[in-house]
Amino acid sequence: MSRLSGRRVVVTGGARDIGAAIVRGFVAEGATVAVLDPRVEEATRLADEVGGRAYRVDLSDVTDTREAIEKAIAGLGGIDVLVNYAGVQRFAPLLEMDPAELGEPFAMPAQSMLIAIQAAACAMIAFRAPGDDCPGKVINVASAGGTAAGGQAHYAACKAAVMALTRAAAHELGPHGITVNCLCPGYVVQPSDPGAHSRPEVATWSALSPLGRLGEPDDVARAAMFLASSDADYLTGDALNVAGGMVLH
């Protein structure tokens, strides 16, 4: 039997790149997946490819996010795993940054993840049967980086917020048998950026890893599959670096 056979999974921001790799990996392991993304055409193509469902969502809008999550859960007939992969990336020198610019990149990922966790956890608790030790999994995607180069104060702050939210959620949802963990990818080459491998800085980035290469979306997807499986039932509130050893620096 596949590791995720029968699991009902919602992936936010799952239409492309790391999110899409997670969707494909989960389906290959037997899960049924709903893809939520603002890029509804890409989400629909992916859902059609894997036999899942797609839902358009504006992750910056509280009401829209909650309604989309609830529709996805209803469409799946429940939920066993939530994967939160969403964010806004901005670059600006720290000393030149307008404090107001911190708003969306900082608040949007944490806000959308909070809403998704609330909706998913309520559904997981409602479907819990007597004797179930671990009826639900929540996996938030943050980052191992955010401070390795200049101009990333927005990014570093929002990812730190995601990790703090993960720990708080793990504490409160643990008594309900729900685990909450965080994935922290390093430099990952994204399929949506086909020229990434040929950039001059790739060699410099690759040298940061003892393995001598950048990450691929499938590297992150495999880690997500581990956290979603019963192999990780005793892990909660943890942040798992998927960075090829880059955090050793």
Rounded percentage of the chain residues whose pLDDT exceeds 90: 63
Residue 186's pLDDT is 86
Looking at 59-73, 86-100, 119-133, 134-148, which range is the least confident one?
Answer: 86-100
Whole-angstrom CA distances from 151 to 13, 145, 156, 177, 201 are 24, 12, 10, 40, 16
Residue 132's pLDDT is 60
Any idea what DSSP says for residue 176?
Answer: G
Residue 106 has pLDDT above 70, yes or no: no
How many whole angstroms separate alpha carbon 163 and alpha carbon 219?
A: 20
How many whole angstroms separate alpha carbon 193 and alpha carbon 215?
A: 14
Q: What pTM was computed for the model?
A: 0.90
| Tokens read off for 103 | 């708003």
Span 168-208, pLDDT tens digits = 999 999 999 999 999 999 888 887 777 667 777 788 888 88
Q: Set out the domains of the chain in order of their start, with CATH numbers.
A: 8-92+99-190+217-242 (3.40.50.720)
Residue 239's pLDDT is 94
Residue 152 has pLDDT above 70, yes or no: no
In this prediction, residue 55 has a pLDDT band, given cuts at 50, 70 and 90, of very high
Residue 201's pLDDT is 78
Q: Rounded mean pLDDT of 132-143? A: 83
- Chain center to CA of 199: 26
Residue 169's pLDDT is 97
Strand extents, DSSP E, the chain? 8-12, 32-37, 53-56, 81-84, 136-141, 178-185, 239-242
Q: Rounded mean pLDDT of 89-96? A: 65
Q: Are 23 and 198 in contact (CB under 8 A)?
A: no
How many whole angstroms separate alpha carbon 167 and alpha carbon 149?
A: 26
How many whole angstroms separate alpha carbon 112 and alpha carbon 126?
A: 21
How many whole angstroms separate alpha carbon 83 and alpha carbon 10?
A: 6
Q: Are 210 and 248 in contact (CB under 8 A)?
A: yes
Which of the two residues, 93 and 21, has the higher pLDDT score? 21
Residue 211's pLDDT is 93
Q: Rounded mean pLDDT of 7-32? A: 96
In this prediction, residue 27 has a pLDDT band, given cuts at 50, 70 and 90, of very high
Catalytically active residues are 155
Residue 98 has pLDDT above 80, yes or no: no
